[in-house]
Chains A and B, each alone.
Chain A
Amino acid sequence: MIAELGLAVLWMAAALAVLQLVTGGLALRPEGRALAGLVRPVAVMQGVLVLAAFAALVTLFVTTDLSVKLVVDNSHSAKPLIFKIAGTWGNHEGSMLMWVTIMAVAGAFVAVIERRLDEPTLMATLAGQAFISLGFYAFLLFASNPFARLAQPADEGQGLNPLLQDVGLAFHPPTLYVGYVGLSIAFSFAIGALVTRNVGPAFARAMRPWVLGAWIFLTLGITAGSYWAYYTLGWGGWWFWDPVENASLMPWLAATALLHSVSVLSSRDALRAWTVMLGVIAFSMSMVGTFLVRSGILTSVHAFAVDPRRGAFILALLAIDIGGALALFTLRAGTVTEGKRFAFVSREGALVFNNVMLSGILGIVLIGTLYPLVTEAYGVKVSVGAPYFNPASAMFAFPMFAVMAVGPLLRWRQDRLTGDRTRRVSWPVLVCAVIAVAVFAGVEIVASGIGLLPALGLALASGLFPAALLPLVGRNLRRTPLPVWGMVIAHAGIAVSLFGMSSESAFSVERLAAMAVGETREVGPWRVQLAGIMPVAGPNWTALEASVSTRYAGGMPALLSPRAETFSNPPGTRNESALETRWNGQLYVVLGEAAADGRWQMRFWWKPFAPLIWLGGVLVGLGGLLALAGRVLADLKRWVARDKIAWRRMRQGR
């Protein structure tokens, strides 16, 4: 019953999306003005209905309704509740429904709260949003119905992939989806603005919170995903340049560029066409990523079940949505009037540099990800990994970091670094540069063996961190606006993360050993001893658990328990690492197999400052959150004030 209800509600929501598209489109014409009042309620209703459909699917999973095919294929009655819920989106159909849900709910939000934008642009935006959703509705309803019943109920479900049975991973995809869908709103705004040719600060201010929100979720999603891969795969690495990882990185890069160009457009009314194009590109990257992952034309560690027909469907959506938007851009961008001018040495100039460099990195990642596809067309099989991505992206990232140290200190429009500005800008930046050079020299002297990239990274990070804090100097910290705090924290987070990455790659110590129980080994500054091996059991797995006593030079001993888990439904294994975190790094322990002579394979890494990688990511996300909070609060204040005035006027009018 619930399944049929869910499907029915989904159909109704799709019908409303059609209505939203048609009325939104008609409302743009003078004769259709009367319909404009209909668009907002329809958008809200559509959001509510899809949410109901999604709730129905979650219910089916929670109750493990074994007459529903999707539940049988992806769930199991013996699974812990949280993974039953996560099973809802841990599969193709469910994740697509989740995608539409987030999209429609976000659309409803836009309809309810967006008041700054002129009415025609908003109508065009909501129509655009409905158009994108319709593609996904069609996909769900015609090609991958999540509510399909089995002819005969199954006795038991097939379970969920053991690797997915991890709390971190269970909530990782939805985080990214929110990010992708937030970008779809930015995309719709860009379409709306192109349709009405109304690209200006009001458009940028309307779009900014959505870009910022999407960007926060993408940042946190990528950070969490990287940490998940780090501790659960047991490979000791935290980023593999895997196609799925790149698929989430590319929208982030585009969103970061968009975030900065939107801020130029909203405060200075420059970079109009560029911002619109980034809005289109950011969402294109989400779609391209989804396509690459789902179609299976690139296989990856994290692949979903692959079906070429799904790939074709997503590709068709990609062609219609993105191709259409880019065609619209090509036709209309020439008529978007030139924005305000600025000098090279100015805040805008620095932000343009940032944008161009980010686009460069985006190009590097995109080409590297697709290169195997191109060569395969000629029958040559290649794989592209860190040896390509690291230096090629650093070529763009490092200059960008250098400019990032200066940019926030510059004035809008035009600045000069002489005269009275020397004390305020040039000297502090020079000090940071000296720190960076000193660290580079120090690193080269103390540890000359490390690579050039990590050494440069350490130096840049050390200079960038103080430079990132400079915008706060001379300000009253209490009265500093939240967005400024957000920017400072996010930039500092980048420095922190860069330091962690460089340190991890420069100073990691790896030790691999076959150890008998009771044996001891040295790993960098640590002494580790294999104290024992014990079998343990969880709700749906059994495992061998090693107890490893560890002791940092002169510190307190700590007990670690890495596990080799074996799952029963479906069968599978996972090597769960154990981590011991100190302020200056992390010890990483993996239990391998038993050797023939009764010893156990153990793998240890001492990774100095590695946790900073994710701490930095969290700081970046936090910075975004502060900026968003600042903007939203300011908007709220403005509304409240305006509503008061309107109310007063209304009373006086009576």
Chain B
Amino acid sequence: MTAAILKPKHQRLVLVCVALVALIGAALLAVYALRGQASYFYIPSEMATRPPEQGKGVRLGGMVEKGSLKTMPDGVTIHFTVTDGKAEVPVRFTGITPDLFVEGSGVVADGRMEGTTFVADTLLAKHDEKYVPREMKDMVSTRSRQAVAKTR
């Protein structure tokens, strides 16, 4: 029965195997889950050329286009356009915007495409003058450290 005590050599071998199987299992599970769950980062021109699946969670980064920000009558839903200078994506967001969120500022939005509109669940705020979403660094006109200064 299993209750029998194993021979010493066996025991070490069995323990090593159990640990290996569990760790390899963890690694495989991680890789499998990551392929499905990691949200990919898009800039507007990528959004235009090879759009993500409808409803799949992705990130969108770019600049908030000047003059595009409109607040809906409920007072908490906003519409704006994110651009990278080449393409534009309309975005809808319901919630309190981060402190630095103004027209012309850089933004990273977590959300998904619904039709032709990107519905954002969160707009990434920076909480530190040293914080830049890593993805932003590669971006053309907006890659950069953000200032802590508020525009107004």
Direct A–B contact in the complex, CB atoms closer than 8 angstroms? yes
A residues bordering B, Cβ < 8 Å?
Answer: 161, 163, 233-235, 271, 274, 298-306, 338, 341-345, 352, 356-357, 359-361, 363-364, 367-368, 371-372, 375-376, 380-385, 387-388, 391-392, 395-396, 413-416, 512-514, 566, 570-573, 575, 590, 592-593, 595-597, 599, 601, 603
Q: Which residues of A contact B85 (CB under 8 A)?
A: none
Contact A514 B75 (CB under 8 A): yes
B residues bordering A, Cβ < 8 Å?
Answer: 2-9, 11-12, 15, 18-19, 22-23, 25-27, 29-31, 33-34, 37-41, 57, 59, 71, 74-76, 94-97, 99, 110, 122, 127-135, 138, 148-150
Q: Which residues of A contact B134 (CB under 8 A)?
A: 298-299, 372, 376, 381
Distance in angstroms from B85 CB to nearest chain A CB is 18
Contact B33 A416 (CB under 8 A): no
Q: Which residues of A contact B133 (CB under 8 A)?
A: 299
Distance in angstroms from A523 CB to nearest chain B CB is 14
Q: Which single member of B18, B23, B38, B138 contacts A371 (CB below 8 Å)? A: B38
Contact B34 A301 (CB under 8 A): no
Distance in angstroms from A508 CB to nearest chain B CB is 14
Distance in angstroms from B78 CB to nearest chain A CB is 10
Contact B34 A371 (CB under 8 A): yes
Considering only CB atoms, which chain A residue lies closest to B74 in the complex?
A514
Contact A343 B2 (CB under 8 A): yes
Report the separation of the CA atoms of residues A597 and B11 in the bound assembly, to the nearest whole angstrom. Answer: 73
Contact B130 A305 (CB under 8 A): yes
Contact A513 B75 (CB under 8 A): yes
Contact B22 A357 (CB under 8 A): yes
Name the residue among A356, A391, A595 with the largest chain B CB count within 10 angstroms: A356
Q: Which single member of A303, A384, A596 contacts B128 (CB below 8 Å)? A: A303
What 4 pairs across the A-B complex have the smallest Cβ distances?
A514-B75, A592-B96, A381-B41, A363-B26
Contact A345 B130 (CB under 8 A): no
Contact A387 B22 (CB under 8 A): no
Q: Which residues of B contact A596 (CB under 8 A)?
A: 71
| A–B complex contacts, Cβ < 8 Å, 14 sampled | A301-B128, A341-B11, A359-B19, A360-B22, A360-B23, A367-B31, A372-B134, A381-B134, A383-B110, A384-B38, A387-B57, A392-B29, A414-B3, A597-B75
Contact A299 B132 (CB under 8 A): yes
Distance in angstroms from B36 CB to nearest chain A CB is 8
Distance in angstroms from A568 CB to nearest chain B CB is 12
Contact A396 B129 (CB under 8 A): no
Q: Which residues of B contact A356 (CB under 8 A)?
A: 18-19, 22-23
A356-B19, A383-B59 known; A363+B27 contact, CB < 8 A: yes
Report the separation of the CA atoms of residues A400 and B108 in the bound assembly, to the nearest whole angstrom. Answer: 37
Report the separation of the CA atoms of residues A159 and B71 in the bound assembly, to the nearest whole angstrom. Answer: 35
Q: Which single member of B11, B22, B76 contacts A513 (CB below 8 Å)? A: B76
Q: Which residues of A contact B38 (CB under 8 A)?
A: 371-372, 375, 382-384, 388
Report the separation of the CA atoms of residues A338 and B74 in the bound assembly, to the nearest whole angstrom. Answer: 69
Contact B33 A388 (CB under 8 A): yes
A359-B22, A570-B129, A572-B148 known; A341+B37 contact, CB < 8 A: no
Report the separation of the CA atoms of residues A453 and B128 in the bound assembly, to the nearest whole angstrom. Answer: 33
Q: Which residues of B contact A303 (CB under 8 A)?
A: 128, 130-131
Kindly list 13 other residue pairs between chains A and B, CB separation below 8 angstroms, not including A384-B34, A512-B96: A163-B127, A299-B134, A338-B11, A343-B4, A367-B30, A367-B34, A375-B38, A381-B41, A385-B39, A387-B37, A514-B74, A570-B148, A595-B71
Contact A163 B128 (CB under 8 A): yes
Distance in angstroms from A540 CB to nearest chain B CB is 15
Q: Which residues of B contact A364 (CB under 8 A)?
A: 26, 29-30
Q: Which residues of A contact B138 (CB under 8 A)?
A: 381
Considering only CB atoms, which chain A residue lies closest to B41 in the complex?
A381
Report the separation of the CA atoms of residues A575 and B96 in the bound assembly, to the nearest whole angstrom. Answer: 10
Contact B75 A601 (CB under 8 A): yes
Distance in angstroms from B75 CB to nearest chain A CB is 2
Contact B128 A593 (CB under 8 A): no
Distance in angstroms from B73 CB to nearest chain A CB is 9
Q: Which residues of A contact B23 (CB under 8 A)?
A: 356, 359-360, 363
Report the separation of the CA atoms of residues A383 and B76 in the bound assembly, to the nearest whole angstrom. Answer: 27
Name the residue among B26, B37, B135 with the largest chain A CB count within 10 angstroms: B26
A356-B18, A571-B150, A572-B148 known; A395+B2 contact, CB < 8 A: no
Q: Which residues of A contact B27 (CB under 8 A)?
A: 363, 367
Report the separation of the CA atoms of residues A571 and B146 in the bound assembly, to the nearest whole angstrom. Answer: 13
Report the separation of the CA atoms of residues A416 and B3 in the bound assembly, to the nearest whole angstrom. Answer: 7
Contact B5 A341 (CB under 8 A): yes
Distance in angstroms from A371 CB to nearest chain B CB is 5
Report the separation of the CA atoms of residues A590 and B34 in the bound assembly, to the nearest whole angstrom. Answer: 33
Considering only CB atoms, which chain B residue lies closest to A271 in the complex?
B15
